[in-house]
Amino acid sequence: GENVEQHPSTLSVQEGDSAVIKCTYSDSASNYFPWYKQELGKGPQLIIDIRSNVGEKKDQRIAVTLNKTAKHFSLHITETQPEDSAVYFCAARYSSASKIIFGSGTRLSIRP
């Protein structure tokens, strides 16, 4: 079935350290994997995405990797800052439909 699993559910890192969030998906035909950041009182905001024909993508301090064989994808945030504190969601678009299925979210806290 359509499922995206996300780990960990909570993550606390020291400011300046790196944070990694991992997701797995079930449909091998999925072809698009966005990551969203949701701050308190706001809707999710797209921060980076990757398509199935690419293994890695980087945007400043944020990078995403995709392993199609293992059906894994990960978000890497380097040199974390206080403003990185938020809930992060991974997602996958299933080829059978245009809807996007979300992971359960990771609450990231940056310790000063």
Partner 1 sequence: KAGVTQTPRYLIKTRGQQVTLSCSPISGHRSVSWYQQTPGQGLQFLFEYFSETQRNKGNFPGRFSGRQFSNSRSEMNVSTLELGDSALYLCASKPISEGTEAFFGQGTRLTVV
Q: Binding residues for partner 1, per CB under 8 A? A: 32, 34, 36, 41-46, 49, 51, 89, 93, 97-105
β-bridge pairing 10-14 and 106-111: parallel
In angstroms, what is the minimal distance from the CB of 40 to partner 1?
11
Enumerate the β-bridge partners of residue 92.
101
Cβ proximity to partner 1, 19 vs 92, nearer residue: 92
110 with 86: CB under 8 angstroms?
no
In angstroms, what is the minimal distance from the CB of 50 to partner 1?
10
In angstroms, what is the minimal distance from the CB of 20 to partner 1?
20
100 with 93: CB under 8 angstroms?
yes
